[in-house]
Amino acid sequence: MYRPTRILEPRSTGAVASVFCSFVTRLALHSRLIPGTEEAYEIEHARVWPELITVMRAAGISDWSIWRSGRDLFHLVVSDDFEAAVAQLKNDPVDQRWQQHMSQFVEGFAQNPEGVAGQSLRHVWTMSEQTD
């Protein structure tokens, strides 16, 4: 059965010295580049638009990492609620501009009917979750 990995992560409350724990979702996505755009894609990600990072954080995405192997991109996303974040970003003009801009490089995300929002890869194993 598919399940996004939920991890217990300490979250700082900012200026307040106390720390509380909350569940976050960590999930992996797979997308593929259009042939010949590999270098241009990496140049675009040398510094992602700061306003995009702001709207992603406001939507509940606390981190997003991308690895590339040839044309294949593997994303690791940490979010409070990825499906809610995707829904919020769908109507955000900054994210819409970014998605339009990136469409010249990316064929699209692989679809997984078992995954969160139909895109996440199936979680198989995490070393830190194995207790014995």
Integer CA distances (angstroms), 56 to 29, 85, 93, 112, 126, in order: 16, 8, 12, 22, 25
What are the residues facing 120 on neighbouring strands? 29
Task: List active site positions.
Answer: 45
